[in-house]
Amino acid sequence: MKNIKHIILVSALTLSAFGQASAQSSVNALSAVSSAIDKVKAQYAPDARQAVFDVKPYMDNDGRLVVGGKISEKAHKLALDEALAAVGTDYADSVQVFPDSVWAQVRLSVACLRTKPGHASEMASQAIMGTPLRVLENDGDWWHVQSPDGYISYVASSSVQEKTPEEMAAWRAGKRFIVTSPEQVRGWRNATATGMRDVVTDLVNGCIVEQAHENTLVTNGRLCVKLPDGRAAYVDATALTPIEEWAAQDFNAEKILDLAYSMEGTPYLWGGMSTKSLDCSGLAKVCYFSNGIILMRDASQQALTGQRIAAEDWRKCRAGDLLFFGNARTGRVTHVAIYDNNGKYVHSSGRVKRNSVDPEDPTYLTTPFLHAVRIAGNEETPGITRARNHPWYF
């Protein structure tokens, strides 16, 4: 009996030690995998505004290590697979990679993009009619989307029109026009309509529409166009420019500044990105887009692009350069303006207005000026893309 008790005791102790070793092994594996995930995220997807990389390791009910979550870019998933393979730990892969072949286009003159699904959520940005959007997730009333500048957000399904890859290919190859009028224009039910009840839609600078008929037919000064959702509208032909002509532009600082000045007095709107109302970085984006150039969405992102110019060298700035302001101690960027000349700039702060970076100027503002960047000559460097070279447009 004594020997049997001894055997049972030894067996229990052995099992306990094995269980503790197994538990410790699981903890070590979980820690190693978690560390690998964090390193990949830091290297490939550090900015949640530009990429979804929501991946976590966990132990399931059977004690199995699982890596689960969502990733927006296939290249990031491949990098993760390589990093986890190097760890040498068995795991179950439960990571969802979002598709890159589901599309939509904005069907309103201006659509609001939110940080989370829901009209009460913070407005992160806006997108104008015709803007191609990559659909990451289609969840009924709110779609998880990515815009051409890489920005990730949520849009109400009523604001967009779903498109197949074939429809997008036809759109890119088709006859299109872009609104180049600085003022808001109307799309009418027919070529002669002028009544307030004859409006089909409004259009703002940068909206893209298709030619409705095989031949370009202008009637009574209006061109019949097709909107992204298939509606037809007659638009003043002088407000439209063939998209190839718009995209072929060279850098033109005066054009950028002209559009900015045409919006003087326009109210500031957090997340706004159209000539109706806009925030500071929205002003820069809208004005540069009129010149066929796609900038990053936020001021803190724009500040990391182009050729940097030190604050003390502001006299070396040229028309069209971007000026950045913020916290002098931390260097955190909170505001952006478009430089004109002699220290003067135009920006959106309360409203679109003019001020100066020159301390001797009566319109000088005391917000710390951190640095400037030059976009001209730096197209096709990270964060600065000519629309004619963007595969979503052409």
Q: What is the pLDDT of residues 54-105, one digit of tens each?
A: 999 999 999 999 999 999 999 999 999 999 999 999 999 999 999 999 999 9
DSSP state, residue 116? S
Residue 18 pLDDT > 90, yes or no? no
Tokens found for residue 348:
């959106």
- Give the pLDDT band of residue 301 (cuts 50, 70, 90): very high
For residues 56 and 52, give the distance between their C-alpha atoms in angstroms, rounded to a whole number: 13
Q: Kindly report the backbone phi and psi dihedral angles of residue 217, in degrees, each rounded to the nearest multiple of 5, phi listed first.
A: -115, 115
pLDDT for 308-350, tens place per residue? 999 999 999 999 999 999 999 999 999 999 999 999 999 999 9
| Nearest in space to 206 (alpha carbons), one of 282, 142, 155 | 282
How far apart are alpha carbons 263 and 274 in whole angstroms?
Answer: 10
Q: Which residues are catalytic?
A: 280, 335, 347
Distance of CA 212 to the CA centre of its chain: 29
Using the structure block, give the residue that is written with the tokens 């919006």: 263
Cross-strand partners of 337: 323
